[in-house]
Amino acid sequence: MSVYPIAINRLRIVDVLEVVRESPSVKTFVFRDRLCGMATPGQFVMVWIPDVDEVPMSLSGIGSDNLCSISVGLVGEATEAIHKLERGDCFGIRGPLGKGFSFRKQKVMIVGGGTGLAPLAALTDKLVKVNADITFLFGAKTKDELLFYDRIGKAPSREVRVVASTEDGSCGFQGLVTDVAEEMLKKERFDMIYACGPEQMMYKVFLLAEKHRIPIEVSLERLMRCAIGLCGSCVIGRYRVCKDGPVFSGEQLREVKEEFGRFKRDLDGSKISL
């Protein structure tokens, strides 16, 4: 990105241009920002709500006209405040920050679940433009929680195959998305796997990639305070997720396999079992 780091980290105020209800607990907020329009899928922004908090959010949309979006699940005080925003309201952002996904023009598998589908939706938009052969595996508990299913399914490319799995069987295969990935990898060869979602899900996908000797990139989530690599709150092994990630390669994941999929860190830095 051909901008100075100080410009990326500068707080800007953006207007909410549109609010889209994605599921009972997730809303997408559309805004316009030049720097975010230059982002790589997988990068994130720090979203500031005055008198509430500043929290990290992946970009779920990155438009060529600088129209971008974040998709926010309702999980706490900060996200509840964001959910109350309406068209014409505003919020603060810093970013885009961190390291995003790389792009492969080959045959790729994308595995996502929950709000982890947000950066994968932005990634798919980019992969379509480079004519990648894409298989997108969606996972959710119920049909109502399948984020971006229609959006990806309508991608302007014949090279996008969409497969859904729900735990209750309300859409697609009944079961876990990792089970679908495992069966598919027994029959087909892929050149790259991308994943984002619950960490234990990503850990299973990582093990599958290792078994089949396929390169993989996953987007991790950790507690982020400064988001520029200074405070150390988001550390995993020798890496800082905000600076060295949030996207990590299979090689990097092998280095942190004692923590990946097993532990996260609390506000005081202590490990918490996932």
Tokens 């679940």, residue?
Answer: 113
Rounded distance between C-alpha atoms, residue 190 and residue 166, angstroms: 23
So what's the pLDDT on residue 71?
95
pLDDT tens digit string along 25-73?
Answer: 999 999 999 999 999 999 999 999 999 999 999 999 998 899 999 999 9
In the chain, where the domains are located? 5-97, 101-217, 220-274
- The pLDDT of 211-222, averaged and rounded, is 95
Q: How far is CA 225 from the centre of its chain?
A: 18
Rounded distance between C-alpha atoms, residue 170 and residue 172, angstroms: 7
In this prediction, residue 131 has a pLDDT band, given cuts at 50, 70 and 90, of confident
Which of 14-18, 220-224, 241-245, 265-269 has the weakest average pLDDT? 265-269
- Which is more confident, 149 or 177? 177
How far lies 49's CA from each of 97, 119, 187, 196, in Å?
Answer: 18, 21, 47, 25
So what's the pLDDT on residue 271?
77
The residue length of the chain stands at 274
Say if residue 257's pLDDT is above 80.
Answer: yes
Architecture of domain 101-217: 3-Layer(aba) Sandwich (3.40)
- 5-97 sits in which CATH class? mainly beta
Residues whose CB falls within 8 Å of the CB of residue 186, separated by 6 or more in sequence, listed in order:
none
Rounded distance between C-alpha atoms, residue 125 and residue 123, angstroms: 5
* DSSP string for 89-134: -EEEEEEEESB-----SSEEEEEEEGGGHHHHHHHHHHHHHTT-EE
pLDDT tens digit string along 181-192?
Answer: 999 999 999 999
pLDDT tens digit string along 150-200?
Answer: 887 665 555 688 899 998 888 888 999 999 999 999 999 999 999 999 999
